[in-house]
Homo-oligomer: A and B are copies of this chain.
């Protein structure tokens, strides 16, 4: 098991694009998102690879995480047949800043124009130098999880 600890922020403006590597387009969906046990089971397809990822319940910024490679054809089928409830499309850019690699997710489809920045850290209280293009921190806002965005896309927020 890996332990995933990360902080998540909104992104203000386009200044980050100057340092960004060309992105990889991902499509991902959820076979289970926050049901009984609070686990999330994600299928992700992108860059010619595919994974199934099992995440435990969130405990602050930390979550248990198990990830296994699977055949991309399986992932495409599962996204089509088993994730009909919602998928997320995004382009992920890697942006180095002050010795850390930030993952900037530029969402498409019904989640456009949302851009979210994440950084993985070694412990919940690790010191992180924040890039100037960051907006508000949303680590603890459950609306910004990808599983939540698959169910309730950003462009529909605030509508009944």
Contacts and interface: CB of A to CB of B under 8 A. Distances in A.
Interface in A46-76: 52, 54, 56, 64, 66, 68, 70, 74
Q: Which of under 10, 10 to 19, 20 to 34, or 35 or more describes the interface residues of A? A: 20 to 34
Contact of A81 (B52, B64, B68, B84): B64
Interface stretch (A15-23, A28-36, A103-111, A112-120): A28-36
A36 B54 CA distance: 17
Tally of this chain's copies? 2
Interface string A71-87: 00010011001111100
A39 interface: yes
A37 interface: yes
Contacts of A85: 36-37
